[in-house]
Amino acid sequence: GTTDSVDSAAGPKSLDELVVGFAQVGAESGWRTANTTDIQTAFEDAGIELKFSDAQQKQENQIKAIRSYIQQGVDVIAFSPVVETGWDAVLNEAKAANIPVVLTDRAVDSQDDSLYVSFLGSDFIEEGKKAGEWVVEEYKDSTDPVKIIQLEGTTGAAPAIDRAEGFAEVTGADDKFEIVASQTGDFTRAGGKQVTEALLKSNPNVDLIYAHNDDMGLGAIEAIEAAGLKPGEDIKIVTVDAVKDGMQALADGKINFIVECSPLLGKQLVDIVKQVNDGETPEKRIITEETTFTQEQAIEALPDRQY
């Protein structure tokens, strides 16, 4: 028989025998920290051993971590790819070793979808569209051009590509929306601040900043205030994530709208691991449920916000 049938003939392992290797992107944002904590807690609660590595936003580190999990013969590998492309070689190595791979949070761009058993995470294009829809509504009565700065996430990362795409699709339907500058802030607060500082000098008349995550939006707030302007009023800000610091800024009127992206993927990842262990086939694509927040909704949600 095939190696596959040998494995399933061995039957499911007990949970305390299972070992999962998780290769995380890094610790670039409040979202990422919440995601790491949630995943570690869920595996602890389930009594499943989790090996964890932090790639510091570098694909080469992540590939090394995955190779080391293959070498250690873990039962399942899960990872959130730093960028979309360049995974086929290492994922084929995992496949050859008969180790199932689960994508969490971010997708890979590959022709071969047999390289992973399941992809659990948000629909980033939809998030970009929701941000764009708010902008369209906010400026519906304006006939003047609306000048927008976009703070992009990590170059080549699925959420950066897709959030730009969804936003452009919705705002692109009306010529008055002009993305006057678009640069990466690498999903960090420091990056958002630095890029905004520079871009405000070349685009002093900007109306709105669309940041691909809260942290870059929070960095933009610092840059706007340093320039003697009022974030949320002189320059409006729309972000994605809805982590506590972002929600506080929204409640304070410094951010105007946030599209939620949930980092709480731990329990669902544990479920997928259990299904794989039981020889079941998990859903190929599991989309996270998410909402959006206005200022009033943020004020209401803040006291119970988990992250």
Q: How far is the CB of 129 from ligand AHR (least distance, A)?
A: 15
Subset of residues 161 to 180 that bind ligand AHR, contact rule: CB under 6 A: none
Q: How far is the CB of 72 from ligand AHR (least distance, A)?
A: 26
Pull the structure tokens for residue 147.
């000048």
Pull the structure tokens for residue 13.
């392992």
Q: How far is the CB of 187 from ligand AHR (least distance, A)?
A: 4
Residue 59 corresponds to which amino acid? Q
Q: Which runs of consecutive H residues, i.e. helices, occur in the chain?
A: 3-9, 30-46, 59-72, 88-96, 124-138, 158-171, 189-202, 214-226, 244-251, 266-277, 295-301
| CB-nearer residue toward ligand AHR: 18 or 101 | 101
Q: Is 33 left (phi over 0), alpha (psi -120 to 50) or beta?
A: alpha
- List 78, 108, 255, 261, residue binding ligand AHR (CB under 6 A): 261
- List 29, 104, 194, 239, residue binding ligand AHR (CB under 6 A): 29
Antiparallel, parallel or unpaired: β 292-293 and 257-260 = antiparallel
Question: Which one of 29-37, 66-74, 96-104, 176-184 is the stretch in contact with ligand AHR (CB under 6 A)?
Answer: 29-37
Cβ contact 134:294 at 8 Å: no
- List 23, 28, 166, 185, residue binding ligand AHR (CB under 6 A): 28
Antiparallel, parallel or unpaired: β 101-104 and 146-152 = unpaired
| CB-nearer residue toward ligand AHR: 190 or 229 | 190
- List 22, 69, 82, 106, residue binding ligand AHR (CB under 6 A): 106
Query: What residues are paired with 235 via a beta bridge?
Result: 231
What element of type H or E holds 101? strand 101-104
Question: Which one of 24-32, 107-115, 137-145, 247-255 is the stretch in contact with ligand AHR (CB under 6 A)?
Answer: 24-32
What is the spatial distance between Cα 125 and Cα 129, in angstroms, rounded to a whole number? 6
Compose the 142-161 pattern: x for residues touching ligand AHR by CB under 6 A, - for all others: -----------------x--
- List 187, 210, 257, 293, residue binding ligand AHR (CB under 6 A): 187
Q: Is 11 left (phi over 0), alpha (psi -120 to 50) or beta?
A: left
Burial 40-53 (b: 16+ CB within 10 A, else e): eebbeebebbbbeb
- List 22, 31, 79, 87, residue binding ligand AHR (CB under 6 A): 31
Q: How far is the CB of 78 from ligand AHR (least distance, A)?
A: 14
Compose the 213-242 pattern: x for residues touching ligand AHR by CB under 6 A, - for all others: x--------------------------xx-
207 binds ligand AHR (CB under 6 A): no
| CB-nearer residue toward ligand AHR: 139 or 187 | 187
Residues that bind ligand AHR (CB under 6 A): 28-29, 31-32, 105-106, 159, 187, 213, 240-241, 261
